[in-house]
Amino acid sequence: MADERDKPGFAPLPAGRRLAQEAETLLSSTADAAPHSFAVGSVIGQKYRLTRFLGQGGMGTVWVAEQTDLGVPVAVKVMHRHVAAQGEYVERFRREARAALLLSHPNVVRVLDFGQHEETFYIVMEFIAGKALDEWLAEHSGLPPIAEVVPICVGVLDALEAAHRHGIVHRDLKPENVILSEDAQGRRVAKVVDFGLAHVEDPTKVAPTLTRKDMVAGTPAYMSPEQSRSLAVGPSTDLYAFGCLLTELLQGRPPFEAPSPIETISQHLFLPPPPLERPEGAEPVPPLLERLRLELLAKHPHQRPADAATARARLLEAVDPQKSSQRLPSRKGEVAAGERDARVPEWNVSAPAEPAPQVRGERVTLVGASDSLLRDPTLAAGLAAHGFRVVSADTIGEAPGTDAWVCDVGSDVELAASELARPHGAVPVLIAVSGLDTVRMRRLIEAGAADVIAHPITPDVLAKKLRRLLRRR
């Protein structure tokens, strides 16, 4: 597939708008996927007769089939013909087969065959009589018991450990990609499927991943901050997704939800993981399990558990009453200060050590044109994460009840001066300007700006400026 950046006249979008555009394109629903072009009775690859349609996604359709020579039931995923015409997606489909073929593990669905049929491609997998984890959750009238959640989580972590050991990062772990079945003894088994977005470390290739450096791919509700930023992914990326999955098992929904993909991504990037919300009278979640969940959702990869095996061990420890009591004595006085500090999630420990702001809940209005950097939704989400109520306006004075205005004027100092001339009473105005120098700063301060900030604007720097202004006021 041609890179858009190679086309004449291409101009890069601002980071936030580009992220929003690509997220809406890559992460949208697959409801508009083309109808499948096969029917019951069709024979794929001259040896797999389709017997039942299971469903479809953006890449292809999934069928129950019969291996004609042996009469063995299998599952066949057939790529949409219009997708098969694009080389990048064929390689992604092939990668899914290769990633699964590398794995032989009871918690990973086995791939049995891969081939080409007419103008498309297919993958043959073991047929699993079961249901996806999201369906299983939907069937519960309430939340599932923790005793049922733990074995499912252990199975998923075992699958991730096996994948990571082979240099494979799934990158799209979610309830739909976990199938629950039963083994010969009637025990529930969780199997991870769909390695279509997998990153496979291949030392023989210069570029082992199909995803461009400035592109995001995955499912927003389960994407780690580094994956959302299209940075390098690793095993810790899957552990973050597992933290989202664990949250959904414990409260019925993932940690972050929003009306659009870009808003969900912004929450992953900037908001701390919210506390669990369980209905009144629900089974209490062991403290060590909640601590593990928060560490899995840490913003930085190095702050999460070291690997899937470590997460598995801590999960089992968290639900073992004896081990849990040893780690969490009943009285704080029994715990040494250093040990007590160690119980705080690392994402919180490593936060900047500054006094708690006194401006929580203050309303800030961002003023700028439609192409202003302040219109980047990630900036608003970042300010919200710092405790500010954020609204937007086109000019100063449009939002009564504002505690502070932030006005983006690009490089137009005269525009800033005209905005500052608007009535704004004692409410401080912070001007954001590009190409800032001493002369411009002096001109803006003389015009009435309470402070000046230069581009690029980041939420943490802007939040500090605003706290300082509001405390001074």
Contacts of 365 (CB under 8 A, 6+ apart): 390, 391, 392, 393, 398, 399, 402, 404, 405, 406
CA atoms within 13 A of residue 33's CA, in its CB half-sphere = 18
Is 172 considered catalytic here? Answer: yes
Phi-psi region of 45 (alpha: psi -120 to 50; beta: other; left: phi over 0): left
Angle ∠(303,304,306) on CA atoms, nearest 5: 105
Q: What is the CA radius of gyration of the chain?
A: 26
Pairing of strands 363-367, 404-408: parallel
| Residue of 218, 231, 261, 204 whose CA lies nearest to 92 | 218
DSSP state letter for 403: S
Residue 108 DSSP symbol = B
Please name which of 123, 124, 128 lies closest in space to residue 107, comparing C-alpha atoms: 128
Is residue 127 within 8 A of residue 193, CB to CB? The reply is: no
Alpha-carbon dihedral sign for residues 303, 309, 310, 315: positive
Locate 88 and state its tokens: 């990048």
Using DSSP bridges, classify how beta strands 48-56 and 60-67 pair: parallel, antiparallel or unpaired: antiparallel
Q: How far apart are CA 381 and CA 379, in angstroms?
A: 5
Query: CA 369, CA 422: separation in Å to the nearest integer?
Result: 16
Rounded CA gap, 179 and 284, in Å? 26
Q: From residue 184, give the alpha-carbon distance in Å to each of 51, 66, 178, 188, 435.
A: 24, 21, 19, 10, 69
With CA atoms as reference, report the closest residue to 156 among 56, 54, 261, 248.
Answer: 248
Residue 355 dihedral angles phi and psi, to the nearest 5°:
-60, 150
CA 159 from centre of chain: 20
Question: How far apart, in whole angstroms, are the C-alpha atoms of residue 227 and residue 170?
Answer: 12
**Type of residue found at 349:** V
What tokens were used for 354?
A: 């500054």
Query: Catalytic pick from 158, 172, 238, 408?
Result: 172
Question: What is the rounded distance in angstroms from the CA atom of residue 257 to the CA atom of residue 274?
Answer: 11
Secondary structure of residue 408 in the 3-state scheme: strand
459 is written with which tokens? 């939420």
Which positions are catalytic?
Answer: 172
